[in-house]
């Protein structure tokens, strides 16, 4: 028996949608790469005739083979305290960045786990700590793309008042293109019609929450083209029309924290303009993307993109194809990198 926990409303919504889809209760399923590991766990349970059940359905903790946590649980929580005596069965899968979930990097808590799967390569020893990226599914690669438009950004308008957040950089880019209309730039994503405030002051954060629900104060970005449905196919159907796309991660300080965004560009033959973790080139070759941080101004970047020859663009596409077809990509391929979890959770029992 495997018991798994995923904190957060979005995770629960995704899981409910996935189970309903499997049962034939809904025709369309949400496809969020962040949650592909959940699907793989269900597939794993079915393969080995195990059950994944929630805490509410556990009659006896003694019968649970593993307690699987996505991100570090709160060990002050009464429920987790009650489970602590079973910590030899605790498995941790780290998904979020340090800035979002700092407890993921509290080394004092690592003693509570049998195995830890993490994207942060500083801890990997292949004994207790194993490299694991939450993974993407490259079967979504498009055979045909219509990359005629120049440049876009697809992201959500959120306010995260953390140090090293790159959300303000996204807003800075958007505002620059609002003033420099000669460049063909399109913006997509949730919430960009709303005006939100970056501030350490609590009263402004309260205003943000009120505005998010009631939309009193609005942005009037002329480049804003609207929201996209929460389905990967809908995102790719937009993305495939562009030659270039900004890929600005949420943060750029946590080693190895590379999200699905850059891979979505690769799947659509779009060249990413990327800003992410300091060691990204260790995992993705530099010749697959345009490094945003190498340009001193957005004007300089735009001239570079505009003057890029078709031959040069084809080279970027060829390079990313070579990467997607290489063993180096296996670390990100959900269908391959999940095997490390399968081996530790299943075969470890038979040693």
Contacts of 293 (CB under 8 A, 6+ apart): 275
The CATH number of residue 146's host domain is 3.40.50.2000
In tens, the pLDDT along 8-28 reads 545 566 667 777 777 788 777
In tens, the pLDDT along 64-90 reads 889 999 899 888 888 888 888 888 899
> What is the reported pLDDT for 163?
65
CA-angle at 201, arms to 174 and 298, nearest 5°: 20
DSSP state of 113: -
Model confidence at 4, pLDDT cuts 50, 70, 90, reads: low
Please tell me the distance from the alpha carbon of residue 286 to that of residue 319, in angstroms, as a whole number.
9
Shared domain check, 271 and 144 = yes
For the residues 145-165, what does the mean pLDDT come to? 82
Model confidence at 203, pLDDT cuts 50, 70, 90, reads: low
Shared domain check, 232 and 155 = yes
Shared domain check, 89 and 11 = yes
Shared domain check, 339 and 315 = no
pLDDT at 93 exceeding the cut of 50: yes
This prediction's pTM: 0.87
Measured between its terminal Cα atoms, the distance across the chain in Å is 18
Q: What are phi and psi of 285, to 5 degrees?
A: -55, 140
Model confidence at 144, pLDDT cuts 50, 70, 90, reads: confident
Shared domain check, 219 and 286 = yes
Shared domain check, 149 and 105 = no
> What is the reported pLDDT for 190?
82
> What is the reported pLDDT for 351?
46
Shared domain check, 188 and 91 = no
Domain span at residue 152? 140-329
The number of distinct structural domains making up the chain is 2
For the residues 25-37, what does the mean pLDDT come to? 73
Shared domain check, 340 and 285 = no
Shared domain check, 318 and 343 = no
Shared domain check, 299 and 153 = yes
Contacts of 197 (CB under 8 A, 6+ apart): 159, 204, 205, 207, 208
Please tell me the distance from the alpha carbon of residue 209 to that of residue 326, in angstroms, as a whole number.
44
In tens, the pLDDT along 301-330 reads 999 999 999 999 999 999 999 999 999 999
Model confidence at 350, pLDDT cuts 50, 70, 90, reads: very low
Shared domain check, 183 and 90 = no
Shared domain check, 339 and 312 = no
């Amino acid at each position: 028996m495997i018991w798994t926990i995923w904190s957060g409303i979005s995770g629960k919504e995704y899981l409910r949608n996935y189970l309903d889809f499997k049962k034939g209760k809904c025709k369309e399923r949400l496809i969020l790469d962040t949650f592909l590991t959940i699907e793989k766990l269900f597939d794993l349970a079915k393969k080995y005739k195990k059950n994944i059940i929630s805490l509410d359905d556990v009659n006896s903790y003694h019968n649970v083979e593993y307690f699987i946590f996505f991100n570090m649980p709160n060990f002050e929580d009464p429920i987790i305290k009650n489970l602590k005596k079973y910590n030899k069965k605790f498995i941790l899968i780290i998904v979020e960045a340090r800035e979002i979930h700092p407890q993921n990097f509290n080394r004092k808590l690592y003693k509570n786990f049998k195995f830890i799967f993490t994207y942060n390569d500083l801890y990997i020893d292949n004994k207790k700590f194993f490299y694991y990226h939450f993974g993407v599914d490259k079967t979504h690669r498009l055979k045909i793309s219509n990359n005629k438009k120049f440049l876009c950004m697809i992201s959500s308008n959120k306010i995260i008042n953390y140090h090293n957040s790159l959300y303000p950089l996204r807003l800075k880019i958007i505002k620059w293109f609002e003033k420099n209309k000669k460049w063909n730039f399109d913006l997509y994503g949730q919430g960009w019609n709303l005006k939100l405030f970056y501030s350490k002051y609590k009263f402004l954060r309260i205003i943000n929450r009120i505005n998010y629900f009631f939309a009193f104060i609005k942005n009037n970005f002329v480049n804003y083209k609207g929201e996209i449905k929460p389905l990967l196919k809908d995102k790719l159907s937009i993305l495939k029309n562009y030659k270039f796309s900004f890929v600005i991660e949420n943060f750029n300080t946590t080693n190895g924290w590379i999200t699905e965004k850059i891979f979505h560009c690769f799947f659509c033959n779009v060249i990413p303009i990327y800003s992410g973790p300091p060691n990204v080139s260790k995992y993705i070759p530099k010749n697959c993307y345009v490094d945003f941080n190498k340009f001193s101004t957005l004007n300089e970047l735009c001239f570079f993109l505009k003057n890029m020859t078709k031959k040069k663009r084809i080279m970027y596409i060829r390079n990313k194809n070579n990467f997607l077809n290489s063993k180096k990509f296996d670390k990100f391929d959900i269908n391959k990198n999940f095997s490390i979890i399968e081996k530790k959770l299943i075969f470890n029992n038979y040693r």
